[in-house]
A and B are shown apart, each in its own frame.
Chain A
Amino acid sequence: MIDILSRYDVLGAFWMTVQLTLFSAIGSLIIGTILVIMRVSPVAVLRNLGAFYVNVVRNTPLTLILVFLSVAVFGVLGYALATRGESGFIATNAFRWAVIGLSVYHAAFVCEALRSGVNTVPLGQAEAARAIGLTFAQSLREVILPQAFRGAIAPLGSVLIALTKNTTVAAIIGVSEAAALMRAIMENETGSVVVFFIFALGFVILTLPIGVGFTSMSRRLAVKR
């Protein structure tokens, strides 16, 4: 087991997993926030568009989204996210498409987590905000969303844990993260059960602190009513 760890760049592969998680988390938080604003907005078209996005993306397999982006959009249509000819072009391109795919997919879950947070804010507060003359944008920014985020910390933590583990899907479009290295090691070595446990342990080490951290945060930051 030790010699496997020393011969392969396991830490480097997990660093790639961490990077994928981090960038996709930021991306999905931004898209998810925009989606939740659409879903609670007073404009019916926006509400329907938001609901449509969530329902379509949430019910599409992540594998399909990533393969579509990489095989169809990059492979066939030729849209690259890095400069062709530069060294590491393919690796950068695959990483960026993976971040986009993961962000787009998890934004739907972030949106629903945030919407559950919005629902924890009593309706009276929104009415009061409008009554003192705040516009929709102002009431969202000053009153509703800050409380919604604090109410949605626990479900957002679950989404982040799911995102961490879902980064393994990026291996199939050629991002050299943990799952990709695991496949390479399994191809070369014969003790595949040991290899499997090393990588399972790696993911536990990544996700356990996220779970503990978000649980304690959700307790400390919850809006006391």
Chain B
Amino acid sequence: MTKRHVRLFAVAASAALVLSACGGDGDTDADAGDDGTTAAEDGGDAGEGGADGSIRIGIKFDQPGLGLRDGDTYSGLDVEMAKGVAEKLGYSEDQIEWVESPSPQRETMLETGQVDLIFATYSITDSRKERVSFAGPYFIAGQGLLVRADDDSINGPEDMEGKILCSVAGSTPAQRVADEYPGVELQEYNTYSECLPALLSGTIDAITTDDTILAGYAAQEQYAGQLKLAGEPFSEERYGVGTAKGSELCEQVNEAITALIDDGAWEQAVTDTLGPADYTPGPGNPPEVNEDCA
């Protein structure tokens, strides 16, 4: 090996190191995407064999307090509820395959059998019932407002007249504000995370979506003490468990949720996951499990 080759090799090696360091830093989006496809492929195999008896559960990967992926550990209320239900259905924790299910893809993932159950802040609505069977609800959330901790001028959506509110483009909370409070200036972004820097710098006045999601953001370490939930929730979001249309799993999930609420596991999960955000479940919780799996 000549000197020049050695030098070239050294450059290439250090470049590789730098690149891998960037990758390891956790571009969660890219990683999540990868994981989604492999999990789906694995799922296909499992479905054919069925012998290994794993269950594929769709959750959000990016919502602190509800469904959050950190490396290969998963945390949040959706995750805890999913674990509890899976256990009642006879699956141990390591038989669960976690799959990311972003909001626009949830119905399709159930229809095509990429997942067996979905616990992903999945509000029960009539139009969704046309394509999936809901079990639950296992939690009742409401649309709330997240404001700066030192801002006392906002106590509800009616105080937002002429102020700037941030939400995710096309989402139900964003559409509700646009329809019912036309005086509110609505800035829409792709994710709630993009709203946060503008809220902290004072350019926008509040962020709106389900209060559970907002509480999760407020509790994140880097924002501790800087944000708070304002006023009372002004809608009712009933989180259900999505199952394929007509699936026999649905009734079993209903029974499992009822059992979890009765034996105290529900309360434990809520305290463990949403408690750190100083979030107290609103009226109607623990919910009555009354979906008929239609």
Contact = CB atoms under 8 A, between A and B. Distances in A.
Contact of B198 (A76, A181, A186, A188): A76
A119 interface: no
Contacts of B128: 190
Interface in B142-173: 162, 164, 169-172
A187 B170 contact: yes
A78 B202 contact: yes
Contacts of A94: 187
Interface in B37-79: none
A189 B162 contact: no
B20 interface: no
A152 interface: no
A67 B190 CA distance: 9
Given A94-B187, A172-B169, A180-B169, A71 B175 contact: no
A188 B127 contact: yes
B194 A78 contact: no
Q: Which of A78, A88, A183 has the most CB of B within 10 A?
A: A183
B253 interface: no
A67 B194 contact: yes
Nearest to A79: B203
B107 A188 contact: no
Interface residues of B, number: 29
B14 to A, nearest CB: 22
Nearest to B127: A190
B203 A74 contact: yes
A55 interface: no
Contacts of B108: 192
Given A172-B169, A187-B172, A71 B187 contact: no
Interface in A148-205: 171-174, 176, 180-190, 192
Given A85-B162, A190-B127, A180 B188 contact: yes
A89 B187 CA distance: 10
B201 A76 contact: yes
A27 B162 CA distance: 31
Contacts of A182: 170
B120 to A, nearest CB: 14
B130 A192 contact: no
A90 interface: yes
Interface in B86-112: 103-104, 107-108
Contact of B103 (A89, A181, A187, A190): A187
A209 interface: no
A30 B177 CA distance: 39
A183 B197 contact: no
A75 interface: yes
B162 A75 contact: no
Contacts of A85: 162
Contact of B104 (A91, A173, A183): A183
B131 interface: yes
Given A186-B104, A187-B103, A190-B130, A71 B189 contact: yes
Contacts of B81: none
Contacts of B244: none
Contact of B169 (A90, A174, A189): A174
A118 to B, nearest CB: 36
A183 B108 CA distance: 15
Contacts of B131: 190
Nearest to A172: B190
A203 B2 CA distance: 57
Interface string A67-83: 10011101111100000
Given A78-B202, A190-B130, A184 B194 contact: no
A76 B196 CA distance: 10
Contact of A187 (B104, B162, B197): B104
B251 interface: no
Contacts of B219: none
A189 B130 CA distance: 10
Interface string B184-226: 0111111000100110011110000000000000000000000
A71 B193 CA distance: 10
15 contacts: A67-B190, A67-B194, A76-B197, A78-B202, A78-B203, A90-B185, A90-B187, A171-B169, A180-B170, A184-B175, A186-B104, A186-B170, A187-B104, A187-B171, A190-B131
Given A75-B198, A75-B201, 14 more contacts: A74-B198, A74-B203, A78-B203, A88-B185, A91-B185, A172-B169, A174-B169, A174-B186, A174-B189, A184-B169, A184-B175, A185-B170, A187-B103, A188-B172
**9 interchain residue pairs of minimum CB distance:** A75-B198, A183-B170, A174-B188, A184-B170, A172-B190, A90-B185, A76-B201, A90-B187, A190-B131
